[in-house]
Amino acid sequence: MENKIGKCPICGEKSSLIPSNNPLVAPVCLECLNKNVKIDDLEEVNIFCRTFNLPFDPDLWLKMRKEFQQKVFKEYASFFFDEKNNTYKDTDRNL
């Protein structure tokens, strides 16, 4: 997934932004996500997923966390992103 470059609403820096699938939540930079969400705390990750309107699959998260470490937010969001249509895939389904 190509992330949009823009101004992060949290830190104000121009950076690559992780897009939100929630029209009421602005995209934020990876650095701010890593600072504000404990990537090893599944409750916090679940809140992140609900806020960004992404499905939460704890097993997938843990697998991707181990593989991608600090880039896990970007890779997890990319997993649900449809490159062809430049939108998120249907995230209303249950995992």
CA 2 to mean position of chain CA atoms: 13
- pLDDT one-digit tens code per residue, 33-78: 999 999 999 999 999 999 988 889 999 999 999 999 999 998 988 8
Is 93 inside any structural domain?
no
E-strand ranges in 1-95 read 4-7, 14-18, 28-29, 81-82, 87-88
Is 95 inside any structural domain?
no
Q: What is the reported pLDDT for 22?
A: 87
Q: Residue 88 pLDDT more than 80?
A: no
Is 44 inside any structural domain?
yes
The number of folded domains in the chain is 1
Q: Which domain holds residue 63?
A: 4-87
Q: What is the reported pLDDT for 80?
A: 80
CB 39 within 8 A of CB 24: no
CB 65 within 8 A of CB 34: no
